[in-house]
């Protein structure tokens, strides 16, 4: 089970996207013609500047949240939408060009399309001198969306097709593309995977100016050569040695840091697959997968010429929960966990008749927990064999007991009305709301402690552990909650200066939210305190998605009944900082500016940092490693308007050792703080021997501290300063 729930690498997600892209995608289609009356549901009306010769289709995919919706029409089509936002509108027809556009939309508004006749895109794939067939997908380039996105390319009956065939001779043809920039991804029969650089497709008018009016509107990419590389064979069987047909197999390699290339294919009727394009000089990770089986992963220092995958069939578990009258109990939460898994438990909810089913469960011994509001929590231990379908049949639930409690404001002890009380562990075991006097009642029963989460419209969430002795207590369960506040983050795309829609804002450990069309994300109610707020910019590359972390963190102070506004990703200026001497590996430059902390890689002796105009900047050096070394170097004034800063590193180094009274090496952070400049400091973690070394200090007088406790005053001069060993006084 732990294997099944581990984080997947990016190319494995690409494979999942291929599995999805290979199918027809059904959408809630809505037809529209001039003779038909318009739908009463909210919709976006899409019109064509020039009426097409036949029915067109359109599909709208929200960039932030929501499912795609589609429609067909002649002069216009009406796409169902529930709220305003920004999305990807894709369109096409049998005789019309295919394309996609980003647009702002709102219910009741209209959008006009102008496309022209479109341009055909052709080419041919070669692996070495061999032509290979396969399949390919297309994506618009540069989408600001957190999802994997592939373009619909045609409509068959009531569904959209998102992939095209690459012929056996390697030739592909993408008919009638609208003007735009696209990305191609192709999976060829013997394994090579091709991902193109951005391809600019001109309009028909632009292409005619280059090739002449009588020439077919075709952009030929010519021969696309892929490295032949070495071949690798896969054999996929079940635990009994029988071949598995149609299993996805692949090998992932990383030729450069941050880049991944892979080969993938599918097993034949004998469970065999042969993939080419493997680099025998690189490490590799293989994967074999088929629905209904446990994923097989293997790692290689040097890829083997033959990989054997033995796939374990997954088990299923089902049953029915009943009450004392043998009636089915709906909504029962059923979770199983093996006790060793690092991932989340597998969860199912019983239907109206009390029946549940869990599929895709690896063999093993599990703890099953069943919980429902008003009933006692039931626990079972079950053992599942590979491929087994276990029917637990009918299982009774016992009625719960009353558990009374009261929710009070911590500072005033006033009752809190309409607070929500929910049992979160195990989920589904009970829920309630407080009355005007702050009282609540749960109907439950448990033989192990449970966890409650108490929330209200103005109070920070409070987690409470409840033991079994609470049932025997004469005192009600008392929950004290504190008033909290919110954080509102306004995210700006630093590249464009526009609101960053669909970006992810993280509020410390309290979760994350996606920004809306105005670039705004709001937290839930948070406890009073300081929270780090960070911004992640997500960009779709077709079946791959890249996440770029904004180079900095803002710290927001949450106060009672207030909303704290934080602006992230403002427009910034580049500042090149150059040091007068190169540093060894592991060093980075760090900058602090008005609560924003950022680190920057050093290339040679230089780093290119980003700075908001009019803000001061403190510059530090940091070294990666267990000692967490950090040294202040310089400060940049708020009125500095240059684009380059040359810094000379100080030459003084201070070293020494610290021991406890019994002679053992001391532990903790050692820091030197300048007596004349409060910003000038250096800190490091003591080594296992109690030693420290702090470089790049300026001459002067410093205070030596250990974990913020003052030890002595030292005078630092240029060059090496050895302080010897300092022994801590006994407590």
Interval 447-501: pLDDT, tens: 999 999 999 999 999 999 999 999 988 899 999 999 999 999 988 876 666 778 7
Q: Is residue 619 within 8 Å of residue 577, measured between CB atoms? A: yes
* Residue 406 binned pLDDT confidence (cut-offs 50, 70, 90): very high
Domain end: 366, 396, 426, which one? 396
Cβ within 8 Å of residue 291, ≥6 positions away: none
Whether residues 275 and 348 fall in one domain: no
* Residue 342 binned pLDDT confidence (cut-offs 50, 70, 90): low
Q: Edge-to-edge strand order for the sheet containing 520-522?
A: 520-522, 486-491, 563-568
* Residue 24 binned pLDDT confidence (cut-offs 50, 70, 90): very low
Q: In total, how many domains does the chain have?
A: 7
Whether residues 518 and 542 fall in one domain: yes
For 213, other C-beta atoms within 10 Å of its C-beta total 6
Predicted local confidence at residue 3, as pLDDT: 34
Interval 615-628: pLDDT, tens: 889 999 998 777 78
* Residue 540 binned pLDDT confidence (cut-offs 50, 70, 90): low
716: pLDDT strictly greater than 70? yes
Measure the CA–CA gap between 512 and 533, rounded to whole angstroms: 9
Predicted local confidence at residue 502, as pLDDT: 77
What CA dihedral angle connects 168, 171, 176 and 182, to 10 degrees?
110
Predicted local confidence at residue 462, as pLDDT: 94
Predicted local confidence at residue 65, as pLDDT: 63
The pLDDT of 79-107, averaged and rounded, is: 85
**Phi, psi (rounded to 5 degrees) for 142:** 80, 30
The pLDDT of 352-361, averaged and rounded, is: 95
Q: Is 30 helix (H, G, I), strand (E, B) or coil?
A: coil
Interval 563-572: pLDDT, tens: 999 988 766 7
Whether residues 180 and 65 fall in one domain: yes
* Residue 340 binned pLDDT confidence (cut-offs 50, 70, 90): low
* Residue 424 binned pLDDT confidence (cut-offs 50, 70, 90): very high
Predicted local confidence at residue 13, as pLDDT: 38
- Taking CA atoms, 633 is separated from 308, 682, 696, in Å, by 56, 9, 8
The residue ranking higher by pLDDT, 576 or 194, is 576
The pLDDT of 674-696, averaged and rounded, is: 92
The residue ranking higher by pLDDT, 274 or 328, is 328
Choose among 656, 570, 583, 651: nearest CA to 614.
Answer: 570
* Residue 6 binned pLDDT confidence (cut-offs 50, 70, 90): very low
Predicted local confidence at residue 298, as pLDDT: 92
559: pLDDT strictly greater than 60? yes
Measure the CA–CA gap between 668 and 683, rounded to whole angstroms: 10
Of the listed ranges 8-22, 90-104, 224-238, the one predicted with least confidence: 8-22
149: pLDDT strictly greater than 70? yes
Measure the CA–CA gap between 588 and 602, rounded to whole angstroms: 5
Which CATH number goes with the domain that contains 459? Answer: 2.60.40.1120
605: pLDDT strictly greater than 70? yes
68: pLDDT strictly greater than 70? yes
- Global pTM reads 0.63
Of the listed ranges 248-257, 429-438, 475-484, 702-711, the one predicted with least confidence: 248-257
Cβ within 8 Å of residue 605, ≥6 positions away: 578, 579, 580, 581, 582, 583
What CA dihedral angle connects 192, 193, 195 and 196, to 10 degrees?
30
Interval 182-233: pLDDT, tens: 999 888 887 778 888 889 998 888 888 888 777 788 899 999 888 777 888 9
**Percentage of residues in the chain having pLDDT higher than 70:** 88
Of the listed ranges 162-166, 382-386, 622-626, the one predicted with least confidence: 622-626
Whether the ω angle into residue 426 lies within 30 degrees of 0, i.e. cis, is yes
By CB atoms closer than 10 A (0-12, 13-18, 19+), residue 585 is exposed
Whether residues 378 and 405 fall in one domain: no
Measure the CA–CA gap between 18 and 695, rounded to whole angstroms: 52
Interval 645-658: pLDDT, tens: 999 999 999 999 99
* Residue 257 binned pLDDT confidence (cut-offs 50, 70, 90): low
Of the listed ranges 222-236, 254-268, 329-343, 620-634, the one predicted with least confidence: 254-268
Whether residues 507 and 600 fall in one domain: no
Whether residues 215 and 71 fall in one domain: yes
The pLDDT of 65-90, averaged and rounded, is: 83
Whether residues 17 and 129 fall in one domain: yes
| Residue range(s) defining the domain that contains residue 448 | 401-481
Predicted local confidence at residue 194, as pLDDT: 84
Choose among 684, 708, 707: nearest CA to 695.
Answer: 684
Q: Is the dihedral of CA 671, 674, 677, 680 positive or negative?
A: negative
- Taking CA atoms, 161 is separated from 24, 210, 395, in Å, by 5, 32, 45
DSSP per-residue string spanning 678-706: TT-EEEEE--TTSEEEEEEEPSEEEEEEE
Predicted local confidence at residue 84, as pLDDT: 80
The pLDDT of 316-325, averaged and rounded, is: 95
The pLDDT of 619-646, averaged and rounded, is: 88
Domain end: 412, 446, 481, which one? 481
Measure the N-to-C terminal CA separation of the chain; round to a whole number of Å. 50
Measure the CA–CA gap between 135 and 140, rounded to whole angstroms: 18
8: pLDDT strictly greater than 50? no
**Percentage of residues in the chain having pLDDT higher than 90:** 47
518: pLDDT strictly greater than 90? no
Averaged pLDDT score across all residues of the chain: 85
Whether residues 199 and 343 fall in one domain: no
Q: How many helices (H) and strands (E) does the chain have?
A: 3, 63
Spacing of C-alpha 35 from chain mean position: 46
Whether residues 321 and 361 fall in one domain: yes
Which CATH number goes with the domain that contains 110? Answer: 2.60.40.10
By CB atoms closer than 10 A (0-12, 13-18, 19+), residue 420 is middle
Whether residues 56 and 99 fall in one domain: yes
Whether residues 39 and 144 fall in one domain: yes
Of the listed ranges 57-71, 536-550, 630-644, the one predicted with least confidence: 536-550
Domain end: 209, 224, 239, which one? 224
Whether residues 97 and 178 fall in one domain: yes
């Amino acid at each position: 089970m732990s294997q099944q729930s581990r984080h997947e690498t990016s190319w494995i997600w690409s494979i999942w996207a291929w599995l999805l892209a290979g199918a027809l995608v059904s959408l809630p289609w809505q037809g529209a013609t001039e003779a038909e009356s318009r739908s009463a549901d909210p919709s976006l009306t899409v019109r064509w500047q020039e009426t097409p010769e036949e029915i067109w289709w359109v599909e709208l995919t929200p960039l932030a949240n929501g499912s795609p919706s589609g429609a067909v029409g002649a002069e216009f089509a009406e796409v169902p939408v529930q709220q305003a936002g920004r999305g990807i509108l894709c369109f096409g027809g049998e005789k019309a060009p295919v394309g996609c556009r980003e647009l702002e939309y709102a219910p009741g508004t209209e959008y006009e399309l102008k496309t022209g006749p479109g341009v055909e895109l052709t080419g041919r794939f070669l692996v070495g001198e061999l032509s290979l067939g396969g399949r390919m997908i297309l994506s618009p380039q540069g989408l600001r969306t957190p999802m994997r996105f592939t373009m619909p390319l045609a409509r068959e009956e009531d569904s959209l097709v998102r992939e095209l065939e690459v012929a056996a001779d390697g030739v592909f043809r993408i008919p009638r593309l609208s003007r735009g920039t696209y990305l191609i991804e192709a999976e060829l029969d013997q394994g090579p995977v091709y991902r193109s650089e951005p391809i600019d497709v001109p309009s028909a008018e632009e292409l005619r100016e280059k090739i002449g009016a009588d020439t077919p509107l075709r952009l030929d990419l010519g021969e696309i050569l892929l490295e032949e590389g070495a071949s690798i064979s896969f054999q996929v069987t079940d635990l009994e040695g029988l071949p598995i047909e149609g299993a996805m197999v692949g090998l992932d390699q990383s030729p450069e840091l941050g880049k991944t290339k892979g080969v993938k294919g599918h097993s034949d009727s004998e469970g065999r697959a042969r993939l080419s394009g493997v680099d025998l000089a690189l490490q590799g990770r293989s994967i074999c997968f088929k629905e209904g089986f446990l994923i097989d992963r293997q790692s290689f220092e040097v890829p083997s010429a033959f990989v054997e995958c033995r796939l374990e069939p997954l088990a299923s578990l089902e049953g029915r929960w009943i009450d004392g009258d043998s009636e089915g109990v709906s909504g029962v939460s059923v979770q199983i966990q093996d006790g060793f898994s690092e991932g989340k438990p597998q969860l199912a909810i019983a239907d109206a008749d009390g029946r549940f089913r869990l599929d895709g469960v690896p063999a093993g011994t599990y703890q099953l927990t069943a919980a429902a509001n008003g009933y006692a929590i039931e626990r079972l231990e079950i053992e599942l064999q590979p491929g087994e379908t276990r029917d637990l049949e009918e299982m009774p639930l016992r009625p719960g007991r009353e558990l009374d409690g009261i929710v009070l404001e911590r500072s005033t002890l006033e009752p809190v009305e309409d607070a929500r009380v929910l049992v979160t562990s195990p989920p589904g075991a009970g829920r309630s709301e407080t009355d005007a006097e702050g009282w609540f009642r749960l109907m439950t029963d448990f033989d192990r402690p449970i966890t409650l989460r108490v929330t209200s419209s103005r109070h920070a969430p409070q987690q409470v552990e409840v033991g079994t002795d609470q049932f025997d207590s004469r005192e009600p369960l008392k929950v004290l909650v504190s008033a909290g506040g919110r954080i509102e983050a306004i995210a700006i795309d630093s590249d464009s200066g526009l609101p960053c829609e669909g970006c992810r804002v993280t509020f410390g450990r309290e979760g994350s939210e996606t920004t809306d069309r105005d670039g705004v994300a709001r937290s839930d109610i948070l406890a009073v305190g300081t929270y780090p707020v960070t911004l992640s910019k997500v960009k779709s590359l077709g079946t791959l998605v890249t996440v770029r972390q904004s180079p900095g963190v803002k710290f927001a102070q949450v106060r009672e009944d207030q909303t704290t506004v934080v602006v992230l990703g403002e427009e910034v200026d580049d500042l090149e900082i150059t040091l007068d001497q190169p540093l060894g590996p592991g060093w980075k430059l760090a900058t602090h500016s008005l609560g924003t902390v950022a680190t920057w890689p050093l290339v040679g002796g230089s780093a290119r940092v980003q700075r908001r105009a009019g803000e001061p900047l403190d510059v530090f050096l940091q070294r990666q490693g267990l000692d967490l070394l950090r040294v202040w170097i310089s400060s940049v004034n708020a009125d500095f308007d240059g684009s380059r800063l040359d810094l000379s590193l100080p030459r003084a180094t201070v070293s020494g050792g610290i021991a406890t009274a019994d002679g053992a090496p001391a532990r903790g952070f050692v820091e030197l703080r300048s007596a004349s400049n409060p910003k000038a400091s250096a800190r490091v973690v003591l080594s296992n021997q109690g030693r420290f070394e702090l470089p790049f200090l300026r001459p002067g007088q410093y205070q030596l501290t250990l974990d913020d406790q003052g030890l002595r005053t030292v005078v630092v001069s240029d060059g090496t300063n050895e302080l010897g060993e300092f022994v801590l006084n006994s407590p």
